């Protein structure tokens, strides 16, 4: 069959990278590294100048030192707070993973069902909105009352923190599925089931990932709140204890670690999103 276009069409060809393109792509990394280095150096100098009590702001080097020893040592058996961060980190991450897993297990199907079925939506939406808008911290005393200072209580709080963004995003994804894509699938013979599996689900997948991304942020807040309120382990507990014992270097080390953990998790979901939904790849923060 002859080709329809009159001219030889453009083909995809590999190109060499110029210095400029290299900079365009990786330049921001260099800037970030330099930026952070300067930030910590200034912090160090400022803290050492004596302008502020080391109780409020320890030198950056002390923080890194506390972080290093905390991550490389385990606490001796029996002791609760010994400067070891590692055990607390693993404990918190373990709870966070469990909580997020349960939040996905509940949130994804709930959101999909709410988007797909008008009755379920009508019945569930008042509860979803009510609980989503309630500051979760207000529920902590209630759960302590019910469940005591247990892992169960902590995981419940994480689940409640993370589940609503997941539900709401999945729900929105289903509801906003482009009508023309559904029409096209119908015209080309999709069954009702296929409309869901081949249009609605792939369309909603990136929404679900955004939901999980928000859920991670909320879940992390949940972890720390639950541990600060009631617990004898975990990063939240460690912050509390570090403050109680005026160990500001340790406290800053934990805060720094929280930032790193949170950014890492969020970056992972971004990569996942870019991988499963490259068409939504837009430059953003």
Partner 1 sequence: MRVAEADVGRTAAAPTIAAGPQDSAPVIVSKNLTVGYELHRERQRLTALRDISLTVNRGEFVVLVGPSGCGKTTFINAISGLVKPWEGSIEVNGRPVTGPGPDRAMVFQDYALMPWRTVESNIRMPFEMQKLGLSQKEMDERVRRYIDLVDLTGFENSFPYELSGGMKQRVGIARALVSEPDILLADEPFAAIDAMTREAMQSELERFVTNTRQTVVFITHSIDEAVTLGDRVVVISYRPGRIKEIVNVNLPRPRFDYDVKMLPEYGELRDHIWRLVKDEALQTARGAK
Residues in touch with partner 1 (CB under 8 A): 1-6, 9, 11-12, 178, 180-181, 183-191, 194, 198-199, 202-203, 276-279
Which are the contacts of 15, defined by CB distance < 8 A and separation ≥ 6?
Answer: none
Closest to partner 1 by CB, 74 vs 197, is 197
> Running DSSP on this structure, what letter comes out for residue 280?
G
Closest to partner 1 by CB, 175 vs 186, is 186
| Shortest CB 79 distance to partner 1, Å | 52
In 3D, which of 256, 231, 235 has the Cα closest to residue 86?
235
Angle, alpha carbons 88-232-64 (nearest 5°)? 35
Closest to partner 1 by CB, 38 vs 184, is 184
Q: In b/e form, how buried is each residue of 210-222, taking b as 16+ CB within 10 angstroms?
A: bbbbbbbebbbbb
Closest to partner 1 by CB, 186 vs 270, is 186
| Shortest CB 132 distance to partner 1, Å | 25
| Shortest CB 207 distance to partner 1, Å | 13
| Shortest CB 1 distance to partner 1, Å | 5
Closest to partner 1 by CB, 11 vs 50, is 11
Place of tokens 């249009």: 199
> Running DSSP on this structure, what letter comes out for residue 159?
H
Closest to partner 1 by CB, 172 vs 185, is 185
What is the spatial distance between Cα 262 and Cα 268, in angstroms, rounded to a whole number?
A: 10
Please answer whether residues 57 and 45 qualify as being in contact, where contact means their C-beta atoms are separated by less than 8 angstroms: no
Conformation bin of residue 107: beta by default, left when phi > 0, alpha when psi is -120 to 50 = alpha
What is the spatial distance between Cα 191 and Cα 49, in angstroms, rounded to a whole number?
A: 72
The string of DSSP letters for 122-139 reads: HHHHHHHHHHHHS-GGGG
Closest to partner 1 by CB, 4 vs 138, is 4
Closest to partner 1 by CB, 195 vs 266, is 195
| Shortest CB 96 distance to partner 1, Å | 30
Q: Where are the alpha helices (DSSP H) in the chain?
A: 19-48, 60-72, 86-116, 118-133, 140-147, 151-175, 179-187, 192-194, 201-229, 235-244, 248-276
């Amino acid at each position: 069959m002859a080709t329809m276009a009159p001219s030889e069409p453009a083909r995809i060809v590999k190109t060499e990278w110029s210095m400029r393109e290299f900079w365009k792509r990786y330049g921001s990394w260099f800037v970030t590294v330099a930026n952070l280095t300067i930030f910590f150096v200034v912090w160090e100098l400022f803290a050492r100048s004596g302008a502020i009590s080391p109780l409020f702001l320890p030198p950056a080097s002390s923080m890194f030192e506390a972080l290093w020893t905390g991550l490389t040592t385990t606490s001796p058996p029996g002791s609760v707070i010994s400067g070891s961060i590692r055990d607390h980190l693993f404990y918190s991450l373990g709870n966070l993973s469990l909580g997020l897993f349960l939040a996905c297990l509940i949130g994804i199907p709930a959101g999909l069902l709410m988007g797909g079925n008008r009755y379920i939506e009508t019945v569930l939406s008042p509860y979803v909105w009510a609980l989503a808008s309630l500051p979760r911290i207000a529920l902590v005393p209630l759960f302590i009352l019910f469940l005591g200072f247990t892992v169960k209580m902590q995981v419940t709080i994480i689940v409640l923190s993370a589940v609503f963004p997941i539900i709401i995003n999945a729900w929105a994804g289903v509801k906003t599925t482009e009508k023309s894509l559904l029409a096209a699938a119908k015209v080309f013979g999709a069954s009702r089931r296929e409309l869901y599996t081949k249009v609605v689900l792939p369309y909603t997948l990136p929404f679900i990932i955004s939901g999980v991304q928000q859920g991670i942020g909320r879940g992390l807040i949940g972890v720390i709140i639950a541990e600060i309120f009631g617990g004898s382990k975990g990063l939240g507990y460690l912050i509390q204890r570090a403050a109680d014992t005026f160990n500001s270097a340790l406290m800053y080390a934990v805060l720094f670690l929280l930032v790193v953990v949170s950014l890492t998790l969020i970056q992972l979901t971004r990569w996942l999103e870019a991988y499963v939904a490259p068409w939504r790849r837009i430059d953003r923060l």
